[in-house]
Amino acid sequence: MKRYLRAIFFFCLLFTAAEVASAQDFYQELFEKYDTYKEESITKRRFSYEKISPLIENLKEDSFFEVQKVGNSIKGTPLNLISFGEGDVDVFLWSQMHGDESTATMAGFDIFNFFKSNDFKKEKKEMLSKLRIHFLPMLNPDGAERFTRRNALGIDINRDALRLQSPEAKTLKRVRDSLEADFGFNLHDQSTYYNAARTPKPATISYLAPAYNYEKEVNEVRGNAMKLIGYMNNILQKYAPGQVGRYNDDFEPRAFGDNIQKWGTSVVLIESGGYPNDPEKQFIRKLNFVTILSAIHAIATEEFKNTSKDEYWKIPENDRKLFDLKLVGVQYELLGDTYTVDLGLNNYEISSNTESGIYTKGSVADMGDLSTYYGYKEMDVSGYKVVPGKVYPSVIKSIGALREMDFASLLKKGYAYVQVENIPQDKNAMQIPMHVITDKKNTDVNLYVGANPTFFLKKNDALKYLVINGYLVDLQAPDKNFGNALIYN
C-alpha cells in the first residue's frame, strides 16, 4: 500500500512539473513572438481616444468580441468594455485611469491581436473555456487627450471610489459590480525614477495586492492576488531580472484597487516604470503583454494556487532613488570656496506645440552626498571642475543659419549659448547641443535643486564634457545620444 501511495505521489509530482514546464514554454514563445501581435498603429505613449477608436470599431465587427458602451467621460467620449471568452470566472482589466499612463492600454490591443490569431490553440482553449475576460481601455480619455493624470473635472479618478463624483468612477464601479469579477487588474504607469530597493535597477514593473483595511489583513481574496503576483514575478524575472518591485501597500480608503479588493475581487495592481533607452515604453509594453497573459493563463489553469504567498513578500519594495544622470564628485566653486558635491539630474517632459508634442527640460533633482542613489547613466567626475558656458560672440540671423554651424568646434571652445535674431515664437527647444537666446544672458553657474543644469566640466585645464539641459555631452563626440537644449525667448 505504501509503495502504491508513493507511486501516486511521484506521478502527481511529475505531472505538475510537466504542466509547469509546458506553461514556461508558452510564456517564452509569447515573448519571442510578441512582434507578431503588436498593434503597429500605436508606437508612442501619447495618444488620444481618436487613435484607438478605429481599433475598437474593428473589434465590433468581429463576432469573437462583444463591445459595449458602458458610459461616457465628462466630455462625452465613450467608455467601452470589450469582452470575450465563455467561462464562468470573470477577469476584469481596466487601464488609463490616469490619462498619462498608457503602457497597458497599448498592451491591451496587442492582447486582442493575440486572441484573434490562430496561434496557441491549446492554451487559448484553456483560457477561453474557463474565463470570461473583460477589458475597459482608456477609462480617462479626457485626461489622455491632454496626456495628464486627472480627468476634465480636475480630480484623480483613483481617489473617487467612495464619493463617485465623476462619471468615469461611476462607470468603473457599475461595471465591477455587474460582473462581480473574480479577478481584477488595475493597470497603471509609475515614475521612471523608482528602483528596486537597494539596487541600481529600475522598477520596470511593480506589483501590488492592495490592502482592504488599515490593518493590511490577508483574507482569501487578497491572498489569491498575492499568489498570482508571486507567479507572475517568477515568469517576469526571466525577461527583466531584478527589475521588479513591490508597491507600498498602505491602505488608501478612497482608492479603487483597495475598495475593489474589499468588495470581493482579487485585485492585482501592475505599474509600468522605466527601462533604459525605452522612452516610449515599447519594451515595457511587451513585458505587460507577457505578464498579463501569464496571469490570465494561470487563473484558467489554477496553476497560481501552487505559489506560496511568501513569493509575494520576497519581491523587493519600490524605492525612489534613480536619476536620469548622476555625476559623482563634481568640484563646484561658490563664494570663493570649492566644494565636492554629487549631482542628480532629471529630464522632465513638457508639452509643446511641436511634431512630437513634447520637449524636455533638465533640472537638478538633488545634490550633496548621493552615495545611496543611482542613475540610468552614472559617471565619476572626481577632479572635474564646473565651468560656465560662454555666449557665442556673433548674433546669428536665423534658425536655418544656426543649423549650419560647426557645433563640435564651438563646444570645444567653451560656447554653450548662441544668440539668434529671428526665432519662431512657438519654438521651445532644439536638438542641437547649445541653448538659443534672443538677448544677452548671465551664464554664471548657480547650482540648486530645481536649477537647469548647464555647465562645462574641466580637468587639467581642458574642457572634457558639457552638461546642457541635464544631458551629458562628450566633447569628443558631441552629437551622440543628445536630447534637446532650450530656446530662451
- Interatomic CA distance for residues 410 and 279, integer angstroms: 29
> What is the structure's pLDDT at 351?
86
Q: Place 13 in a pLDDT band, splitting at 50, 70 and 90.
A: very low
pLDDT per residue as tens digits for the range 185-195:
999 999 999 99
**Matching residue, cell 491549446:** 122
Among the listed ranges 221-230, 312-321, 426-435, which one has the minimum average pLDDT value? 426-435
Which CATH architecture describes the domain 323-488? Answer: Roll (2.30)
pTM of the model: 0.93
Mean pLDDT of 126-143: 98
pLDDT band per the 50, 70, 90 thresholds, residue 477: confident
Q: State percent of the chain over pLDDT 70.
A: 95
Q: List CB contacts of 298: < 8 A, sequence separation 6 or more.
A: 23, 228, 231, 232, 304
Taking the C-alpha atoms of residue 2 and residue 71, their distance in angstroms, rounded to an integer, is 61
**Are the CB atoms for 342 and 330 separated by under 8 Å?**
yes
Kindly indicate the confidence band of residue 12, based on its pLDDT and cuts at 50, 70 and 90: very low
What confidence tens digit (pLDDT) does each residue in 244-276 have? 999 999 999 999 999 999 999 999 999 999 999
Q: Are 216 and 169 in contact (CB under 8 A)?
A: no
For the stretch 355-395, pLDDT in tens is 667 999 999 999 999 999 999 999 999 999 999 999 999 99
pLDDT digits (tens, 9 = 90+) for 273-289: 999 999 999 999 999 99
DSSP SS3 for 345: strand
Pick the CATH number of 2-319 from 3.40.630.10, 3.40.1160.10, 3.30.110.70, 3.40.50.720: 3.40.630.10
Distance CA 37, CA 115 (A): 9
Q: Are 91 and 299 in contact (CB under 8 A)?
A: yes
Among 27-31, 212-216, 398-402, the range scoring the smallest mean pLDDT is 398-402
Provide the 3-class DSSP secondary structure of residue 186: strand
Rounded Cα distance between 418 and 397, Å, is 11
Gyration radius from the chain CA atoms: 26
Contact 483/471 with Cβ under 8 angstroms?
Answer: yes
The helix, strand and coil proportions of the chain, stated in percent and rounded to the nearest 5, come to 30, 30, 40
199 class by beta-carbon count within 10 Å (0-12 exposed, 13-18 middle, 19+ buried):
middle
Q: What is the DSSP string of 426-437?
A: T--EESSSSEEE
Which residue ranges make up each domain of the chain?
2-319, 323-488
Task: Tell whether the model's pLDDT for residue 127 goes beyond 90.
Answer: yes
Grid cell in block for residue 274: 522605466
Mean pLDDT, range 52-78, rounded to an integer: 98
